[in-house]
């Protein structure tokens, strides 16, 4: 077998690269889980299940709903690209960006309230700011990713047979939603 | 692409979308119940235990329906 043959066979195996990409992304997400787990456990270690009375429960529930809505729009965007419906992809991924920005607005509001009632110098406040800050950082990076694939998708960079970029970014966005599913009860309900 | 293929794609899109919407509705319903349970048992010691199933259920729905985790071991996604 010559070097050229090996090279050609490698490129003929079209299933290899998406699988490797997907596995790599899952390994990254798995490593992120450890990061969030450390921060979540720090909250219980420092303050147990203590919650300040001043927590804005309705705001937290509202932004939880918005993030959930952004997750379904992200799913619809990915599905649209999978079925080669580019216009729908642009609409749904733009919706994801808008909902993500609204979520961030809510986070800014809750952080402002937190500085008044439970600042970072308090035990609960330190856990609160760490978790909300870590999650907000992931939302911002997710928004950047979604914005990039939206622009690229609108320009025809992706199609039904080549949409790994969209799939990867949307999976990351769903992970951000998954992290909030744990953070929300940890800070507001438990 | 033929007209027939476009029809098949639209049907596939419709089915996949419906699955996602159903998953989202489940998560929304579980979140609301979670919130109600919190208000019912706010000062009870077993609140964490009562809310944990909701967290696990919602987490699994996101992993399965949105992130297609079962595709990792060859599931139908």
CB distance from B60 to chain A under 8 Å?
no
pLDDT band at B77 (very low <50, low <70, confident <90, very high): low
Query: Which residue of B14, B15, B35, B65 to mutate against A (max A Cβ within 10 Å)?
Result: B35
Judge whether A79 and A166 are in contact, CB under 8 Å.
Answer: no
Helix, strand, or coil here: A162? strand
Q: Answer whether B67 sits within 8 Å of A174, measured CB to CB.
A: yes
The pLDDT tens digits of the residues spanning A164-180 come to 889 999 999 999 999 99
Is residue B6 scored above 50 in pLDDT?
Answer: no
Residue B15: closest C-alpha in chain A = A79
The pLDDT tens digits of the residues spanning A133-160 come to 999 999 999 999 999 999 999 998 888 8
Q: Which long-range contacts (CB under 8 A, 24 or more apart) does A32-40 make?
A: A32/A138, A32/A175, A32/A179, A35/A134, A36/A134, A36/A179, A36/A182, A36/A183, A39/A127, A39/A130, A39/A131, A39/A134, A40/A131, A40/A182, A40/A183, A40/A186
Token pair listed for A99: 């909902």
Judge whether B7 and A150 are in contact, CB under 8 Å.
Answer: no
- For residue A159, what is the DSSP state? B
Residue B13: closest C-alpha in chain A = A83
Beta bridge partners of A159: A162
Q: Answer whether B47 sits within 8 Å of A49, measured CB to CB.
A: yes
Residue in the block written with tokens 């000062």: B43
Which residues have a Cβ under 8 Å from the Cβ of B68 and sit 6 or more positions away? B75, B77
Q: Answer whether A79 sits within 8 Å of B35, measured CB to CB.
A: no
Interface of chain A toward chain B, CB-CB under 8 angstroms:
22-23, 26, 49, 57, 61, 64-65, 68-69, 71-72, 74-76, 79-80, 82-85, 160, 171, 174-175, 177-178, 181-182, 185, 189-190
Q: Answer whether A177 sits within 8 Å of B66, measured CB to CB.
A: yes
Count interface pairs A-B at CB distance under 8 A. 80
Determine how many CB atoms are found less than 10 A away from the CB of residue B22.
12
Supply the pLDDT for residue B8.
Answer: 47
The pLDDT tens digits of the residues spanning A6-39 come to 455 544 455 556 678 888 899 999 999 999 999 9
Beta bridge partners of A162: A159
Q: Return phi, psi of residue A64, to 5°.
A: -65, -45
The pLDDT tens digits of the residues spanning A54-85 come to 888 889 999 999 999 999 999 999 999 988 88
A86: nearest Cα among A144, A142, A149, A145: A149
Q: How far is CA A102 from the centre of its chain?
A: 14
A32: nearest Cα among A159, A182, A156: A182
Where do runs of H (alpha helix) occur along A48-163? 57-82, 86-117, 123-154
Residue B5: closest C-alpha in chain A = A83
What's the farthest any 2 CA atoms get from each other in chain A? 72
Sign (positive or negative) of CA dihedral B47, B49, B53, B56:
positive
Nearest Cα of chain A lies from the Cα of B44 at a distance, in angstroms, of 10
Does pTM surpass 0.90?
A: no
CB distance from B20 to chain A under 8 Å?
yes
Determine how many CB atoms are found less than 10 A away from the CB of residue B19.
14
Residue in the block written with tokens 């509202």: A62
Buried b or exposed e, range A148-187, using 16+ CB within 10 angstroms: ebbeebeeeebeeeebebbbbbbbbbbbbbbbbbbbbbbb
């Amino acid at each position: 077998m010559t070097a050229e043959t090996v090279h050609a066979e490698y490129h003929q195996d079209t299933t290899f690269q998406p699988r490797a990409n997907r596995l790599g992304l899952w390994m990254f997400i798995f490593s992120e889980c450890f990061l969030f787990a450390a921060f979540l456990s720090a909250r219980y270690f420092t303050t147990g299940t203590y919650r300040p009375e001043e927590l804005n429960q309705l705001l937290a529930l509202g932004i939880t709903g918005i993030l959930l809505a952004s997750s379904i729009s992200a799913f619809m965007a990915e599905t649209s690209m999978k079925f080669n419906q580019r216009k729908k992809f642009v609409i749904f991924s733009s919706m994801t960006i808008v909902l993500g920005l609204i979520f961030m607005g809510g986070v800014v509001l809750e952080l402002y309230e937190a500085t008044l009632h439970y600042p970072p110098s308090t035990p609960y406040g330190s856990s609160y700011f760490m978790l909300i800050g870590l999650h907000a950082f992931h939302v911002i990076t997710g928004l950047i990713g979604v914005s990039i694939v939206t622009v690229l998708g609108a320009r025809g960079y992706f199609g039904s047979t080549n949409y790994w970029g969209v799939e990867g970014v949307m999976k990351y966005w769903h992970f951000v939603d998954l992290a909030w599913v744990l953070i929300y009860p940890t800070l507001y309900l438990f | 692409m033929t007209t027939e293929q476009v029809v098949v794609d639209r049907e596939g899109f419709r089915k996949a979308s419906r699955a996602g919407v159903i998953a989202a509705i489940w998560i929304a319903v579980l979140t609301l119940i979670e919130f109600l349970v919190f208000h019912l048992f706010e000062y009870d010691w077993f609140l964490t235990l009562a809310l944990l199933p909701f967290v696990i259920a919602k987490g699994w729905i996101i992993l399965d329906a949105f992130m297609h985790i079962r595709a990792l071991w060859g599931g139908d996604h």
